[in-house]
Amino acid sequence: MERNHHDVIVVGGGISGCFAAATAATAGLDVVQLERKPREQGGFIACGDAIKSPRDPQKYPGPIDMDAIADDESVLVDNNIDQIEYRDEQLGVRKILPYETGSNVVDRYEFGQRLLEQAAEHGVTQHYDTVVNEVTQNGRVTGVKAVRDGDPVSYEGSVVIDAAGAQSILQDMIEFETLETPSDPTFEVPHYTHFGSAYREIIETDEPVEYQNAIVGKPLEELGYIWYFPRTPTQINVGLGFQMNKPPIPLVDRLRRDVESRPEYGGATVAERFGTANKLGSAIALRRPLDSMVAPGYLATGGAAGTTHPITGKGIRGAAYSGYSAGRAAIEAIEDGDVSEAGLWEHNRWLYRDHGEAAKLASWDAYNVAASALEVNVLRALTALLPETELREIVGTSTEVESLSAKLLVGTGILKNFVAEYRRDTFDALGVSLGALSDAVLTVRKTRDYVGTYQKQYEAYPADPSTFDRWRADRDRIDQGFYDALELSPSEYKY
């Protein structure tokens, strides 16, 4: 068997893999990046392709030159998306939320290709057609085994960075309980109900769509949504996803049914890539980022670490900054000669405390828990009535509803909308009683309070693993308080 030795082994040629690999290589480390796809298919990934503020170095830190990518016309980052639309066509509801400037729907394949090119330019060795099928460990994770171009090959290194995406196969293979940690391992493999299943097609229309400056979402019959994200006025990323704690939806058929019912898609065809229809599906993390993203010799990043928005499923940005964080932590640990759990802890600390986005994602997950607890029709009625400011916060485009008086207005705003805007029989059609709606309003209020409580807890994330157990026990108590406040039965607990 061919044997390779590198300082850092990055598994995955997606966004987080490229950010991690480029960051580590910039410090002069010997980095290999392993990707199961062939070179020309790298970056060909199931995604809605919506990306926010690609030029913002806080959102996309590290050596990857996002300005160059944003300037690249084949990636199509031309800042033309300036609003999110929520539609519930059955209820005649259309809400328009402003979106951050510098946002767009990219050609995800071209974006992925540019990232891989840049990682290579920073000195990363890339092995394509390389399927990782085993992890080696000896007190710590020491490397991986793979099949490369049909031949077995092994890779040994100081640190393995798991950038293999949501439901990473590496996490199934590692025996975390046998790794050397001072107490129980801090890393826990997520449950399958913490993921969503999503599918998308790229379709081409004859005429420009009217919502060419908007990303559009509308509810499904189960917890989840259908989206129309225009890459160009005539090329639309259409897709849908649902969370796996709910009954499955036949995604392909459901999407077809929707597309065929829309006049603007009459005569539309599915675009081609690599000589076949451009249709892809995949898993998506819909949970809070992992409590700990490290184990001895091992760092998880991107989808594999749950750095995805727990309501919208958007994870490009989380993959970028968590990839950077993993590369950065690997550099420090290798320089210090300590790749233990404590030596790699900086990855957790930086993401939760210094950078802070992981703390926000973790606290927003309370909305996911609350949404799962509500009947879909109640949720639809509630969303129809939510003031735009509150909706904006939940989908993560604004945090402006901060003050106590604003919080109180949320419930009042919903009821005012109910009286002013929508006829009672619309809600009767959904089978939603006023009582159920009032309970749901109360749920939103309680959830908002818990979002704040979680945020404070995550901002106090432990600086090293020695106090992690205590911190997690405190966080678990917050979970319990939240579940009790929502009157959930144990079978409904998310964690």
Ligand X SMILES: Cc1cc2nc3c(=O)[nH]c(=O)nc-3n(C[C@H](O)[C@H](O)[C@H](O)COP(=O)(O)OP(=O)(O)OC[C@H]3O[C@@H](n4cnc5c(N)ncnc54)[C@H](O)[C@@H]3O)c2cc1C
Residues at the contact surface with ligand X, assessed by CB under 6 A: 11-17, 34-37, 45-50, 130-132, 163-165, 169, 198-200, 239, 241, 282, 284, 302-304, 308, 313-316, 319
- In contact, 209 and 237? CB cutoff 8 Å: no
Compare residues 223 and 414 and give the one whose CB is closer to ligand X. 223
Compare residues 236 and 432 and give the one whose CB is closer to ligand X. 236
CB of 313 to ligand X, least distance (A): 5
Q: Kindly state the tokens that stand for 160.
A: 């393995």
CB of 184 to ligand X, least distance (A): 26
Q: Are strands 50-51 and 93-105 parallel, antiparallel or unpaired?
A: antiparallel
CB of 238 to ligand X, least distance (A): 11
CA torsion sign, 22 to 468 to 172 to 158? positive
Compare residues 50 and 220 and give the one whose CB is closer to ligand X. 50
- Could you tell me which residues come within 8 angstroms of residue 423 by beta carbon, excluding any fewer than 6 positions away? none
Compare residues 314 and 392 and give the one whose CB is closer to ligand X. 314
CB of 408 to ligand X, least distance (A): 33
CB of 208 to ligand X, least distance (A): 21
Compare residues 21 and 344 and give the one whose CB is closer to ligand X. 21
Question: CA separation (Å) from 356 to 21, 274, 338, 416?
Answer: 22, 39, 25, 35
CB of 203 to ligand X, least distance (A): 14
- Could you tell me which residues come within 8 angstroms of residue 122 by beta carbon, excluding any fewer than 6 positions away? 21, 22, 25, 26, 63
Compare residues 276 and 403 and give the one whose CB is closer to ligand X. 276
CB of 164 to ligand X, least distance (A): 4
| CA separation for the pair 363, 461 (Å, rounded) | 13
Compare residues 19 and 418 and give the one whose CB is closer to ligand X. 19
| CA separation for the pair 148, 158 (Å, rounded) | 21
- In contact, 360 and 318? CB cutoff 8 Å: no
Task: Report phi then psi at 261, rounded to 5.
Answer: -85, -5
Compare residues 4 and 308 and give the one whose CB is closer to ligand X. 308
CB of 248 to ligand X, least distance (A): 15
Which has the closest alpha carbon to 366: 469, 446, 276?
446
- DSSP string of 90-135, one letter each residue: GGTEEEEEEEEEEEEE--HHHHHHHHHHHHHHTT-EEE-SEEEEEE
Burial 33-62 (b: 16+ CB within 10 A, else e): bbbbbeeebbbbbbbbbbbbbbeeeebbbb
Which has the closest alpha carbon to 154: 12, 11, 2?
2
Compare residues 160 and 359 and give the one whose CB is closer to ligand X. 160
First to last CA, the chain: 42
Q: Are strands 81-88 and 93-105 parallel, antiparallel or unpaired?
A: antiparallel
CB of 20 to ligand X, least distance (A): 9
Compare residues 105 and 369 and give the one whose CB is closer to ligand X. 105
CB of 35 to ligand X, least distance (A): 5
Which has the closest alpha carbon to 163: 132, 194, 187?
132
| CA separation for the pair 468, 450 (Å, rounded) | 21
CB of 261 to ligand X, least distance (A): 21
- In contact, 410 and 364? CB cutoff 8 Å: no
Compare residues 142 and 308 and give the one whose CB is closer to ligand X. 308
Beta strands in 262-419 (DSSP E): 269-270, 272-273, 276-277, 279-285, 294-295, 298-300
Which has the closest alpha carbon to 222: 245, 204, 192, 190?
245
Report the Cα 399 to chain-centroid distance in Å. Answer: 19
CB of 70 to ligand X, least distance (A): 15
Compare residues 14 and 343 and give the one whose CB is closer to ligand X. 14
